[in-house]
Structure 1
């Protein structure tokens, strides 16, 4: 079943999503859809609210992009949901995300590929299959 998700009507394609981790959830109202990002990245300050923090056994990495470089750690969340479309046991990057714009996270190509996403810029919607 296809799920059409309305994108924000701004200069950048923002959506809202919900992250589930360790029997808790948090809503992220300002998440950027970024086909130039290979991975989905969530803001550390927000994820700490549901107990998602760096632990000794976590794998650390560095990501680089137009917004600069960031140290991240990798976690598998119980699920990530975008307007009713949910992917379970999904690995995300967690970082400080000090990119000069106020965002809660980035939906990257990893999510879009699993969701078989189609971005319709004429209608400003993301279709997840």
Structure 2
């Protein structure tokens, strides 16, 4: 899968399916420094991914400080040719000025045994 280098960050896309609705999400950053993947909750509300009282709330600590997100089990996630089914995924807020819709972290990268080819800007 081809990735784009935008402002020093590796950007890609991910596809999610929830309750029969499917969406491709662009401007997702590959972040080997993130333990968990997280997608902007604003990007998935149109497929019915909302916070509900039975969702786990977690605190994420990063360069922007501490931020809350919620965890929801997603029916299907497709990334770089791999399909993950019924997996927990984090959803939270990303400031619009960042112009990113999420992060692919080590949870997905290790599970899929992906290799990042920086010479050719590919993930396989």
What is the aligned counterpart of 1:68 among 65, 68, 73? Answer: 65
1:83-125 superposed Cα distances (whole Å, 9 cap, x missing partner) = 4321111211110122841111111100001110111111111
Whole-angstrom CA distance in 2 between matches of 1:61 and 1:20: 22
Residue matched to 2:2: 6
Asked if 1:40 is matched to 2:44, the reply is no
Structure 2 regions of 5+ residues with no counterpart?
none
Q: CA RMSD in A?
A: 1.4
Whole-angstrom CA distance in 2 between matches of 1:6 and 1:126: 7
Aligned length in residues: 123
Structure 1 regions of 5+ residues with no counterpart?
none
Query: 1:69: how far off?
Result: 2.0
Conserved? CA contact 1:68–1:99, under 8 Å? no
| TM-score of the two chains, using structure 2 as the length reference | 0.92
